[in-house]
Amino acid sequence: MIPELGSFSLILALCLSVILGTLPIIGAHRHNVLWMSLARPLAAGVFVFTAIALLILAYAFITDDFSVSFVANHSNTLLPTRYKLTAVWGGHEGSFLVWTWMLTAWTLTVGVFSKSMPLDFVSRVLGVLGLLIAAYILFMLGTSNPFDRIVPLPPADGADLNSALQDIGFIVHPPTLYMGYVGLSVVFAFAIAALLSGRLDAAWARWSRPWANVAWAILTIGIALGSWWAYYELGWGGWWAWDPVENPPLITWLFATALIHSLAVTEKRGVFKSWTVLLAILAFGGSLLGTFITRSGLLTSVHAFASDPTRGVFILGILGIFLGGSLLLYALRAPLMKSDVGFGLFSRELFLLANNVILVVAAASVFLGTLFPMVYQAITDDLISIGPPYFNAIFSPLMMLLVVLLGIGPLSRWKRTSGSYLLQQLGKVAIASVALGIVIPLLVLMEISIAATVTLILAVWIVLSMGKDMLNRSSNKASLIQGLRSFSLSYWGMQLAHFGIAVMLVGAGLTSYFASEKSVLLEQGQSTELGRYTFTLQDSYPIEGPNYVGSRTDLLVQRNGEEYTILHPERRVYVASGTPSTEMAIDSGFLRDLFITLGEQKESGAWSMTLYIKPFVRWIWLGAIFMALGGSIAAADKRYRRLRQRKSAEQQAASKGAAELQPAS
Amino acid sequence: MMKPHRRKRLGIILFIAAGLSVAIGLTLFALSQNIDLFFTPTQVAQGEVNPGDRVRIGGMVREGSVESAQDSLQVRFATTDYVHDVDVYYEGILPDLFREGQGVVVEGSIDPNGVFQASRVLAKHDENYMSPEVKAALDAAGASADNHPMQPES
């Protein structure tokens, strides 16, 4: 009975979201205040009923209700309770419910934190989000209802959660990624609302910016968590595989990064309006594409959901309607977006435009590489795959170029900057970066390494040009400390995020070129060497967990002949599904990770295993944390709040006037 | 005569068009250099793959074909579409989900003796999920998921 209440609750949410998607938008068009004022309560209603559905699904998991097909396929009585809860998003149906619920949560948040915006604008934003929610719930009810029952005979026990998903990284990765994805829908809704109302001005950009920054920051963390999870759980020793499921979040992230930069130009200078709107649409399209690729099973990937063609068609339909519709609207409204303000050849506008072009080209080339196999198959009927070398060959030079510009952009001025000014500002910085980039690897490695040199030159370039900019900006203050205090939060946010790029660059560059690995077969007492480390297999013995059995090994690690640590990689078989799984042993450090994956045990008792040394690998995720922090801090700038208060006072006065003038309709 | 601002605009457009064509050209070149073609065991048996070319082959791991050396990491097995077999040699650790009777994709090249030297072995981490390559190989060979008992349900 209770699962049926879940379905019922979803149907109610669908009805409310359909009303939310129609009445407020029509109301905004006809200046009907009553219809517009329905938007906020409706958004709350949709949220409540979707949340009830989600709670009911969680309840079904906790009470082991295996008559519900989704629970039976993704849980088991032996599964620890925390994993029963996280199994809610361990499969297609449940994760889509979480996704939709998050969209309703964002919608409600917009409703609450939009008191300062004009009512017609808020109604349009919430209305667009309502349409999107309606489409998602319809998709859920039509093709993948998480509350479907197994009739007439439910299984006695469930099939268990995929063992790779029984893990802390998995508990947090998908919700974070969804949260970021869905946050971009909000920015999309702002853009559509602006197109609908014909008001594409600096105010619209200012309203969008904090939302875009927060969504971007969450997306950054979501992708980084995915990379971290894949690194320590999937055990192939890498942190990014250019897998078709990893690529759409990256494409979306690249668009979103371009978007937050373009929004800055639109807010400050009133140019790039049409481009900003297009980026908002593209970023949203990227998030839908991610859903489509993951859930349609069209591409080979390590973590696609089991496929069902009707779902793919349905999502493609949503993609077509929303993208096609918004692009059509975009085309109709294009004349409104003309901007008459010009800018010079060297100006901050131009550097930000270059940033956008590079990011969009990078996104397009990843997109091409991801979808090319599908297109190729459709045309020639041959199956192909595009390997990492393609992506690395395209992506690395683009990012290098981007980093060079990253040093110049913040120092350049709006409207017009002379080339000689930039040279005077950055000449010494450039020389210092090159010098440090060459000297540091020489001192540390005692040999010339082009990869390390290039990586360090670029990283030092970012950091030094940031320092130069901060010095410049505080030069008219009494002291440096006072100067630093005077910077706005959005400036600190930008610098922090750019610093994160430098940190991530060091991590990615050095890990890719200096990682070492070795596959060996070790008998008890035997040892092998890798780099400065000696690994000795001391012992192996059987273990038993709540829902698995397996073997555990003791590996003594010595550094330069002295005992350093003992690592315990494991090999498990999950009882319910019979799935084997490797538990990596990782000794993580600031400067390097030691990483061991266990293979199989031979009849002689010897174990096969792969040993890895990954220098600076943590810096990749550390950089992502800095970037996300930067985005959040920038969104908290008091400029957005202050304007909000002032605006809201004006608005109240204005809307009072409007209400009085409006005849009752 | 064109007005100066028109000429400037035309210049910008030409510049963007030239930049775009270079970018597209380079991307397509990089793409064409990095395509791994996929073959089924039957296609390999018919001699469609030249020795030395880097390709991918997908099929099922033939039951009873896996021989792993006891004193090294060498493994031999046969991948099959239940019509033809391809012998595969691999040195390294097989993925967790590698099992007899399950789908597998191998990447590498065929040596002059007709043995596939795999540089990478891929098995999917969701058991209920069969990669499109393996599915296509089996479909092409006429062995569908319904009539072979050893296949994972999909």
Tell me how far CA of residue B139 lies from CA of A304, A310, A341, A589, B82, in angstroms: 20, 20, 61, 48, 11
Pair B63, B133 in one domain: yes
CA dihedral A420, A422, A427, A433 (to 10 degrees): -160
The pLDDT value given to residue A244 = 79
Least confident of A68-77, A402-411, A417-426: A417-426
Closest residue to B125, CB basis, from A303, A376, A386: A303
Pair B50, B21 in one domain: no
Pair B104, B114 in one domain: yes
B152, part of any domain: no
State mean pLDDT over A440-456.
84
Question: What pLDDT digit, counting tens, does each position of A487-505 carry?
Answer: 889 899 999 999 999 999 9
Tell me: pLDDT of A447 over 80. no
B65, part of any domain: yes
Tell me: pLDDT of A304 over 60. no
Tell me: pLDDT of B130 over 80. no
**Most confidently predicted of A10-14, A231-235, A340-344, A369-373:** A10-14
Pair B27, B44 in one domain: no
Q: Chain A, 560-579: which have a CB under 8 Å from a chain B CB? A: 577, 579
CA dihedral A454, A456, A457, A463 (to 10 degrees): 150
For residue B42, give the CATH number of its domain.
Answer: 2.40.50.140
Pair B45, B88 in one domain: yes
Give phi and psi for A610, each to the nearest 5: -115, 130
Pair B44, B114 in one domain: yes
State mean pLDDT over A143-162.
82
Tell me: pLDDT of B117 over 80. yes
State mean pLDDT over A86-90.
88
The pLDDT value given to residue A547 = 83
Pair B59, B11 in one domain: no
Pair B114, B57 in one domain: yes
Q: Which residue of B has its CA nearest to A373?
A: B35
Q: Which two tokens stand for residue A32?
A: 């009907």
State mean pLDDT over A288-315.
65
Nearest 5°: the CA angle A520, A526, A529 is 55
- Enumerate the domain spans of chain A: 516-616
Contact state of A386 with B133 under an 8 Å Cβ cutoff: no
Pair B74, B30 in one domain: no
Instruction: Give the distance from residue B126's alpha carbon to the nearest chain A alpha carbon, in angstroms.
Output: 7
The per-residue pLDDT of chain A, averaged, comes to 86
Q: Which two tokens stand for residue A158?
A: 């469930």
Instruction: Give the distance from residue B85's alpha carbon to the nearest chain A alpha carbon, in angstroms.
Output: 19
Q: Which residues of A614-643 are buried (b: 16+ CB within 10 A; e: fewer)?
A: bbbbbbbbbbbbbbbbbbbbbbbbeebeee
Q: Place A339 in a pLDDT band, splitting at 50, 70 and 90.
A: low
What is the residue type of A229?
W
Residues 6+ apart with CB under 8 A from A13: A45, A46, A49, A50, A53, A104, A133, A137
List CB contacts (< 8 A) between B35 and chain A. 376, 384-386
Pair B44, B22 in one domain: no
Tell me how far CA of residue B154 lies from CA of A88, A93, A312, B60, B124, in angstroms: 21, 17, 16, 14, 13
B154, part of any domain: no
Contact A526/B at CB under 8 A? no
Tell me: pLDDT of A664 over 50. no
State mean pLDDT over A51-77.
91
Q: Which two tokens stand for residue A182?
A: 């869905």
State mean pLDDT over A74-83.
87
Which position has the token pair 């600031």? A590
Pair B62, B114 in one domain: yes
Domain residues for the domain of B22 are: 1-35
State mean pLDDT over A206-222.
94
Compute the distance between CA of residue A496 and CA of residue A491 in angstroms, rounded to an integer.
9
B79, part of any domain: yes
Residues in chain A: 665
Question: What pLDDT digit, counting tens, does each position of B57-110 carry?
Answer: 888 888 888 888 888 889 999 998 888 889 999 998 888 778 888 888 888 999
Instruction: Give the distance from residue A144's alpha carbon to the nearest chain B alpha carbon, in angstroms.
Output: 16
Residues 6+ apart with CB under 8 A from A643: A116, A206
The pLDDT value given to residue B29 = 83
The residue with greater pLDDT, B105 or A60, is A60
What ipTM, to 2 d.p.?
Answer: 0.75
B147, part of any domain: no
The pLDDT value given to residue A663 = 38
Pair B77, B5 in one domain: no
